[in-house]
């Protein structure tokens, strides 16, 4: 076997290891999200029953945090898959002797750490809104004006240069890896953290729109997930956030007008 074919075989093996781990993580995430969402809009006697508690304890808050973390993994990991696969190929070709899969898992851990921090803030925001009766039992904003304002804010954010800068980094994984390269597993974790911050800067407002359509509204979750994928992987379709920004602003104004009908 030639050196080239040996490297190619290793790359294929790494692709299977990384792709398989990603598929399992995404599948497990959606495997929890879907039944819970269906139960929430059903009789709430199954996996969403804990949400019906009259008085919430620390256990309920931890479950809510876990729900957000799992949901963020299910929504964001698909769009970062190309970056992880390219990173795996670069690590393998670098020939520094480090286990490729472990480096990729460290990268992914850094990425997930960022969205875990976001999930903590989202959990705090949800509890704050619920305590002030601004969130319905179905986890939707009760005020059309507030929901419309959030849609308009998301639309305006889509048009900012900061959003465009973060989006360009997410759309160019090879460029990101070349610019932010760090050796070793600690370096991989740091790179994942930085990549996660770019993705957070790109998508955090879009994730907050879950409060408008319903935090556990399965169609709304799927729609945002698909849009994030399209925005990162098919930039011409998404128009770099510009078209979506205008549409979100129009939708927000229409949504807010429901208050006065």
Averaged over successive runs of 10 residues, the pLDDT of the chain (261 residues) comes to 52 72 92 92 83 84 95 94 90 73 92 98 95 89 94 94 91 92 92 97 95 93 93 68 86 87 66
Residue 101 contacts residue 248 (beta carbons within 8 Å): no
CA–centroid distance for 229 within its chain? 10
| Residue 111 CB neighbours (<10 A) | 27
Give helix 184-208 / helix 218-233 axis angle, nearest 10°: 120
Closest CA to 84 of 241, 231, 202, 232: 232
Give residues with Cβ within 8 angstroms of 146, minimum separation 6.
134
Tokens of 177: 């890896």
Q: What local confidence, expressed as pLDDT, does residue 126 receive?
A: 95
Q: What local confidence, expressed as pLDDT, does residue 1 receive?
A: 46
Contacts 24+ apart (CB under 8 A), 81-85: 81/19, 81/22, 82/173, 82/233, 83/170, 83/173, 83/176, 83/177, 83/195, 84/18, 84/22, 84/108, 85/15, 85/18, 85/19
pTM value > 0.95: no
């Amino acid at each position: 076997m030639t050196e080239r074919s040996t490297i190619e075989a290793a790359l294929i093996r790494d692709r299977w290891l990384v792709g398989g781990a990603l598929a399992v993580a995404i599948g497990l995430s959606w495997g929890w999200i879907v039944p819970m969402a269906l139960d929430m809009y059903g009789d709430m006697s199954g996996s969403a029953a804990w949400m019906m508690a009259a008085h919430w304890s620390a256990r309920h808050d931890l479950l809510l945090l876990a729900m957000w973390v799992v949901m963020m993994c299910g929504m964001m990991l698909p769009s970062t898959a190309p970056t992880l696969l390219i990173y795996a190929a670069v690590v393998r070709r670098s020939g520094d002797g480090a286990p490729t899969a472990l480096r990729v898992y460290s990268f992914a851990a850094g990425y997930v750490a960022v969205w875990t921090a976001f999930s903590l803030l989202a959990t705090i925001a949800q509890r704050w809104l619920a305590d002030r009766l601004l969130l319905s039992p179905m986890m939707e904003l009760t005020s059309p004006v507030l929901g419309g304002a959030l849609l308009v804010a998301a639309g305006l954010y889509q048009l900012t240069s900061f959003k465009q800068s973060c989006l360009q980094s997410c759309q160019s994984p090879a460029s990101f890896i070349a610019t932010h390269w760090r050796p070793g597993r600690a370096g991989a974790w740091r790179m994942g953290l930085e990549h996660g911050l770019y993705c957070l800067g790109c998508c955090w407002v879009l994730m907050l729109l879950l409060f408008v359509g319903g935090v556990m509204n399965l169609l709304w979750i799927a729609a945002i997930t698909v849009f994030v994928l399209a925005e990162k992987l098919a930039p011409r379709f998404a128009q770099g956030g510009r078209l979506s920004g205008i549409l979100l602003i129009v939708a927000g104004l229409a949504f807010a007008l429901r208050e006065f009908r």
